[in-house]
Amino acid sequence: MTILEAQTAVDVWIKKYGVRYFSELTNLAILTEEVGELARIIARKYGDQSFKANELSVDMADEMADVLWVLLCLANQTGVDLDAALVKNIEKKTIRDNERHIKNEKLR
């Protein structure tokens, strides 16, 4: 699925099952919440914290998909073509950082 197809699929789902989009501010709060849930998993899986007994069946991929879902909602609501935005962002980073990381001694 392309980014454009994902944006379209989310829009179709919202219109069919979700009644309407939540407000942009609500979706921003939900995005923050979802990122927090993903951060909790990463902190426990790769960081120093351990999982609680009720967290053993967490699904990191599902949490990442939740983050993506809300981001796609926000893009749809605000008229952002994420496919075009990502291409432009990669070009920006390539121009700006094409030697920065290669020359960074800390990364070697």
How many CB atoms sit inside 10 A of residue 7's CB? 20
DSSP string, the chain: --HHHHHHHHHHHHHHHSSSPPPHHHHHHHHHHHHHHHHHHHHHHTSS----GGGTT--HHHHHHHHHHHHHHHHHHHT--HHHHHHHHHHHHHHHHTTTTTT-GGG-
Domain 3-81 has CATH 3.40.50.11930: no
pLDDT digits (tens, 9 = 90+) for 32-62: 999 999 999 999 999 999 998 888 788 999 9
Q: Which amino acid, residue 24? A: E
> Residue 53: what pLDDT?
86
| pTM value surpassing 0.85 | yes
Interval 27-31 mean pLDDT:
98
